[in-house]
Amino acid sequence: MTDVRSSQPAAVDQRSGKRERLVSAAIRLLHQQGVERTTLADIAKAADVPVGGVYYYFKTKDDVVAAAIDAHARQSATALAQIEARERSPKGRLKALMKEFAAQSELLARYGCPLGTLCSELDKRDGEPSLAADLMRVPIEWAERQFRALGREDAYEQAIDLMAAYEGSALLANTLRDPGILTKAAERYNQWIDSL
């Protein structure tokens, strides 16, 4: 994955934290409004940075998006690592992931899955497998490791199946504005994990 940190000016942003605020605002707005409908002015305003000043920290809008994706990937990896450290068994880890999904059901029903909507939108934008594909691989590979630890030969297929169930449930929960779709799907998956 591209290291977006290298694109930041040298010896800059040590105190102000403006770049950090911009990335943080971008992550939130990209989720709520989508990539295409979020302007640099929106992001600058949310981060309390002068509108034109964004270009001091980033070369283009695409760079802002790339930085947001990169930061998001780190956040996801950290969250998954925390689950791995907290839960000892693969089953417990998978169930903890389901719990996280269910806990976000209200937000997901309102704005969709941050990861899923981003992948969907970036695919139209680039026309080629984008940075978002790497983002999607983070939870897939994590789940694959858990299934492999459970001794499943089809660990990759199971991981794909889990993420597909989650992403599909998030899409329907969002479209129909029904968080229950997500919580029920998580419950069902939990029962299935228990039955393994």
Options 112, 114, 147, 179; binder of its own copies; rule CB under 8 A: 112
Contact of residue 165 among its own copies, DNA, none (CB under 5-8 Å per partner type): its own copies
Please choose, out of 2-10, 49-57, 70-78, 128-136, the segment that lies near its own copies by the rule CB under 8 A. Answer: 128-136
Contact of residue 11 among DNA, its own copies, none (CB under 5-8 Å per partner type): DNA
- Which strand (E) or helix (H) includes residue 111? helix 105-111
Residues sharing a CB contact under 8 Å with residue 162, sequence separation 6 or more, in sequence order: 94, 143, 189
Q: Is 116 in the site for its own copies (CB under 8 A)?
A: yes
Residue 123: count of CB within 10 angstroms of its CB: 14
Q: Is 117 in the site for its own copies (CB under 8 A)?
A: yes
Could you list the residues that contact DNA (CB under 7 A)? 9, 11-13, 16, 18, 38-41, 49-53, 55-56, 59-62
Binding map of its own copies across residues 25-54, x = CB under 8 A, - = no contact: -------xxx-xx-----------------
Rounded to whole angstroms, how far apart are CA atoms 51 and 70?
22
Q: Which is nearer to DNA, 15 or 88 (CB)?
A: 15
Question: Could you tell me if 108 and 171 are in contact, meaning their C-beta atoms sit under 8 angstroms apart?
Answer: no
Shortest approach of its own copies to residue 184 CB, angstroms? 7
List, as own/partner pairs, every contact residues 37-40 make where C-beta atoms lie below 8 angstroms and the sequence separation is at least 24, other chains included. Answer: 40/64
55, with CB counted inside 10 A (0-12, 13-18, 19+), is middle
Options 102, 185, 186, 193; binder of its own copies; rule CB under 8 A: 185
Rounded to whole angstroms, how far apart are CA atoms 25 and 48?
10
132-151: contacts with its own copies (CB under 8 A) = 132-133, 136-137
Give, in order, the Cα–Cα distances in Å from 176 to each of 34, 58, 110, 112, 122: 18, 37, 10, 11, 23
* Positions in the binding site for its own copies (CB under 8 A): 32-34, 36-37, 111-112, 116-117, 119-121, 123-125, 129, 132-133, 136-137, 157, 160-161, 163-169, 171-172, 174-177, 181, 184-185, 188
